[in-house]
Amino acid sequence: MKNSKDMFTTIAASAILALSLCGCGKKAVVFPAPEGVAKSEHYDICADGQNVFAYATYRMDWNSKEKIANSPVAPLAFCIFDFEKDANVELKLPKGIIKNPSDAVVRPLALGIKPAVDLSNPNFDRVSLSLPRPNNYTFDPRGDGTCALHIFTNAPEKSRPDKNDPNVIYLGAGVHKIDKMKLDSNKTLYLEGGAVLLCSPKEKKGIYKVNGIELNNMKDPITLVDAENVTICGRGIISCAGSLQRGERMTPFRIRGVKNLTLRDIAIIEASEWNVSLYGAKDVLIDGLRILSYYVNSDGICPTSNCDNILVKNCFIHNADDAYELKAMDSYWGRKPKSEEKYFGDVRNVIFENCQVWNDLAITMGVTHEIDHNIENVAFKNITVLHHTSIAGPYPVRGHIAIFPAGGGKVSNMLFENIVLENDSSKYKHCIVINNTHGDSWRKNTPRYDNRPHSIVENITFRNIDFKNTKADKVGLFNHGKSDEIKNIRFENVLINGKKLTEKNIENRGAKFEISDSPQN
């Protein structure tokens, strides 16, 4: 084991370095603290000698006794600032957050950033981080997710929309409470750093039963329907905070029939329904979006039906349901108004790349259940899974990466490449699973699919996948059809706990697959 002096510097040396850096070069760009927004009790933050507001939120944590809307939660913090390169970040934490300095890490681990913990103080309450360039970073003080801090950083803005432009909705720093907001064609919604758009819809659309309680299902506050050339961007936050405490369930958006939509560099927090669900969407760019949600059904980014040419990149999701996913639904669970039929159809040409995910329930990426139409030409590339903590049972349709289509739609031409799982504490058995059952995670069967054929899944490649620390050491391939519905499944350089995937790792029921590289002894 390395000597601790080789792993950490003292806080005194870090402070001297920080002071020397603050006097030269360009400093980080920090944003005002929005009045009335909850501050984290666990972090005081400075970036290049300037105070950075630490936002308080939650994550789903089944080991916690604290509950919101009958769901166990634990504290989580995040901050947002801009810098060009080489930012020095100083953290002050309460006594006891760091128990063993050698357990503290900065994720993604591949970045090689070592936290400098003050070893001269037995409280271990001061930490210095040197961040080389804008990215999404997570300080994990115990290495297991306890009291983590997400650090969301961007390059400084080169320009902003003109606040006097009639097509621009410009929200300055502070809290802006809305009941509803409609974004028509050619509109830009810009949230300045320190701006919080607080969603507080007044109208209900029904009752939702979950976790043994009833929640008021609220109407979607921000609507983008049959609109083109819409942009939502900035450095601010779209927040559903407080809704679950009021007994309300909500998503921030209703997105239907859009073309040339851009979501860039904002954060969405505390939604309790699907965060970004796309129906009838063409030519969409989602770049630098951050999503933090702690309640079941808080799915992350999902091209849901009739989508084409969707690019999702540089995003971060920490949520409590499926994160980066695809569906191809033919209705809203059996309900399809005639005026909305145009929003349903095949999903094709979708890329998720250069993203991070921390998932506390369900799966990190893949194809999830409601596949009535076809899905084709999809890539998940360069994605890091920081933690996967789901306790949602050892369901045969769930895994770190999963494709489980029901409904008879075909899934084809899909690539998973350069995927890394850093830490797994889930209860899953499979690191990868393909399962075309008509059932789902919580029911043995979905009645509306009884008379449908089982989905064909073909031409799927898993390349350069590294499950570094997982108990899910199996791959599951489960064909429930009568022929070869699951075929041309290819595994190239898949590692499970440092060992190459072999046929011994694969539970196969009627699927046709190939492992292209020789096993490692």
Give yes or no for a contact between 260 and 292, defined as CB atoms under 8 angstroms apart: no
Q: Show the CA angle centred on residue 174, arms to residues 171 and 179, nearest 5°.
A: 65
> Is residue 439's pLDDT more than 90?
no
> Is residue 4's pLDDT more than 60?
no
Task: Look at 464 and 22; give whichever has higher pLDDT.
Answer: 464
Pairing outcome for strands 430-435 and 204-210: unpaired
Predicted confidence (pLDDT) per residue in 67-109, tens digit: 999 999 999 999 999 999 999 999 999 999 999 999 999 999 9
pLDDT for position 391: 85
**R_g over Cα of the chain:** 23
Distance CA 278, CA 259 (A): 11
Q: Where are the beta strands (DSSP E) in 200-292?
A: 204-210, 213-218, 222-234, 237-239, 248-249, 253-264, 267-269, 276-287, 290-292
pLDDT for position 10: 36
pLDDT for position 445: 59
> Is residue 13's pLDDT more than 90?
no
% of the chain exceeding 90 in pLDDT? 89
Give yes or no for a contact between 413 and 457, defined as CB atoms under 8 angstroms apart: no
Predicted confidence (pLDDT) per residue in 303-337, tens digit: 999 999 999 999 999 999 999 999 999 999 989 99
Give yes or no for a contact between 422 and 107, defined as CB atoms under 8 angstroms apart: yes
DSSP 58-112: EEE-TT-S-EETTEEEEEEEEEEEE-SS-EEEEEE--TTS-S-GGG-EEESGGG-
Peptide bond into 405 cis (omega under 30): no
Query: Which residues are CB-contacts of 393 (< 8 A; sequence separation ≥ 6)?
Result: 427, 441
* Single-letter code of the amino acid located at 33: A
Q: Which of 255-269, 365-379, 425-439 has the lowest mean pLDDT?
A: 425-439
Give yes or no for a contact between 250 and 220, defined as CB atoms under 8 angstroms apart: yes
* Single-letter code of the amino acid located at 342: K
Distance CA 145, CA 30 (A): 26
Nearest CA to 98 among 71, 112, 119, 73?
119
Predicted confidence (pLDDT) per residue in 138-168, tens digit: 999 999 999 999 999 999 999 999 999 999 9
**Residue ranges covered by each domain of the chain:** 4-154
> Is residue 394's pLDDT more than 80?
no
State the average pLDDT over residues 281-289: 99
* Single-letter code of the amino acid located at 472: A
pLDDT for position 438: 84
On average, the pLDDT of the chain sits at 93
* Single-letter code of the amino acid located at 53: F
Query: In terms of residues, how long is the chain?
Result: 521
> Is residue 14's pLDDT more than 70?
no
In our burial notation (b when 16+ CB lie closer than 10 A, e otherwise), range 237-267 reads: bbbbbebbeeebbbbbbbbbbbbbbbbebbb
State the average pLDDT over residues 181-188: 99
Would you give the distance in Å from CA 264 to the centre of its chain? 15
- At residue 93, φ and ψ (nearest 5 deg) are -125, 155
Long-range interactions of 35-41: CB distance < 8 A, separation 24+: 35/174, 35/175, 36/175, 37/175, 37/196, 37/241, 38/241, 40/75, 40/77, 40/149, 41/75, 41/94
Would you give the distance in Å from CA 100 to the centre of its chain? 28
Pairing outcome for strands 375-388 and 411-421: parallel
pLDDT for position 359: 98
Q: Which of 9-18, 41-50, 364-373, 377-386 has the lowest mean pLDDT?
A: 9-18
Say which CATH topology domain 4-154 has.
Answer: Dex49a from penicillium minioluteum complex, domain 1 (2.60.350)
Task: Look at 396 and 177; give whichever has higher pLDDT.
Answer: 177
The model's pTM is 0.94
pLDDT for position 441: 54
pLDDT band at 416 (very low <50, low <70, confident <90, very high): very high
Task: Look at 8 and 183; give whichever has higher pLDDT.
Answer: 183
Please list the residues that pair with 258 across neighbouring strands.
Answer: 227, 281
> Is residue 379's pLDDT more than 60?
yes
> Is residue 17's pLDDT more than 60?
no
> Is residue 247's pLDDT more than 70?
yes
Distance CA 251, CA 254 (A): 8
Distance CA 358, CA 389 (A): 8
- Name the token pair of 76: 């989580």
> Is residue 404's pLDDT more than 70?
yes
Nearest CA to 60 among 387, 386, 361?
361
Query: Which residues are CB-contacts of 121 (< 8 A; sequence separation ≥ 6)?
Result: 11
